[in-house]
Amino acid sequence: MPKKEIDLDALEAARREASEECPVVKFKGKTFEMPVELPFTIVEAIGRLENAPEEKKNEVAGALLSDIARALFGERFREFLELGPSMNDVSALIEHVSGVYGTSTGESSASGNS
């Protein structure tokens, strides 16, 4: 009996082949390519940010900045951080990432239950 297998490598390769170009972020004259698919790290970060109390959102966003930059920009994440993004820059990045990848954030999420 053949073993049951889910080949995520093959599935990812097929999605990449069907995908358009990598989304990009332009910041302070530099262009940073993002992955073709939204990294799960970003989904987690957006969830943590949305679930944070309003008075803690900036603090949480600051704590997640490195994880977000690393997930979105790979080897160039330090270069992005060295450009000194503000909290407003980070918030705008997080806000727009969902739209670029065709996903929604918590308030309009289809799941409804956490």
Which one of 16-25, 27-36, 39-48, 80-89 scores highest in mean pLDDT?
27-36
**What pLDDT does residue 110 have?**
38
48 assigned to some structural domain? yes
Residue 110 counted as domain residue:
no
Asked if residue 58 is part of any domain, the answer here is: yes
Establish if 107 belongs to a structural domain: no
Distance CA 107, CA 83 (A): 31
Is 42 inside any structural domain? yes
Query: Who wins on pLDDT, 24 or 49?
Result: 24
Mean pLDDT over all residues of the chain?
81
41 φψ region: left (φ > 0), alpha (ψ -120 to 50), beta (else):
alpha
Distance CA 27, CA 31 (A): 6
How many structural domains does the chain have? 1
In a domain, residue 17? The reply is no
43 found inside a domain: yes
Q: Could you read off the pLDDT of 13-33 as tens digits, one per residue?
A: 887 777 768 889 999 999 999
Domain of 73?
A: 29-102
pLDDT for 104 equals 60
What are the Cα distances from residue 105, in Å, to 21, 49, 82, 95, 98?
23, 10, 28, 8, 7
> pLDDT tens digits, residue range 90-112?
778 878 887 888 776 544 333 34
